[in-house]
Amino acid sequence: MTVAVPPDRVAPGGALPERLAAFGDRIEVQVRPAPGDRGTEIAARLRGPVPSGAAEVVARASGDDPRQELRTALRDTRSLLETGDVLRPSGPPTTRPTPTNAWLRLLTSRARGEGTL
């Protein structure tokens, strides 16, 4: 992930941003300047084993996959560094759960934890 702020603001004195620091030794993080004045590249990887195969499907559907937690933390980190805030969805909701929107609700409830980040 690339963040549009200089490295010394991403990790002043080597201290990681709060949301990433909270993972402790569970993640390995690299912070390096991005080329062409694009700010800072942050690469984070989970150290321990992650669910795979059938366990992965279950973990991702139930929202317990650690990669989802990490992706969400990365997205929050970028937004906090760049804007000082994390955008919340609009509300209160104008929709209600129904059998036909169950799939979409599942998708959106995981949508910050999934993706290509």
Partner 1 sequence: MKALTWQGINELEVIDVPDPEIRNDGDVILKVRRTVACGSDLHLLGGYIPFMEKGDVLGHEFLGEVVEAGPAVTRHRVGDRVAVSSFIACGKCWFCSQQLFSSCDNTNTNPAITEALWGQAPGGCFGYSHALGGNAGSHADYIRVPFADVGAFPVPDELTDDQAVFVSDSVATGWMGADLGQVRPGDVVAVWGAGAVGQMAARAAMLLGADRVVVIDRFDYRLRQVEQHLGCETLDYEQTDIQAELRERSGGRGPDVCIEAVGMEAHSPGPQYLYDQVKQQLRLQTDRPTAVRQAIHAARKGGSVFILGVFAGFVDKFPLGAVVNKGLTVRGAQMHGPRYIPMLLERMARGEIPTAHLATHVLPLSEGPRGYDLFKHKKDGCVRAVFVPGA
Q: Would you tell me which residues interact with partner 1 (CB under 8 A)?
A: 2, 4, 38-39, 75, 78-79, 82-96, 98, 100-101, 104-105, 107-108, 110-117
CB of 116 to partner 1, least distance (A): 4
CB nearer to partner 1: give 21 or 112.
Answer: 112
SS3 content of the chain, % helix, strand, coil (to 5): 45, 15, 40
Judged by beta carbon, residue 47 or residue 101, the one nearer partner 1 is 101
Sign of the CA dihedral with 44 first, then 48, 54, and 57 last: negative
Any idea what the Cα angle at residue 105 is, between residues 111 and 20, rounded to 5°? 25
Least distance to partner 1 from the beta carbon of 96, Å? 6
Residue 33, beta-bridge partner list:
40
Give me the least distance between CB of 94 and partner 1, in Å please.
Answer: 4
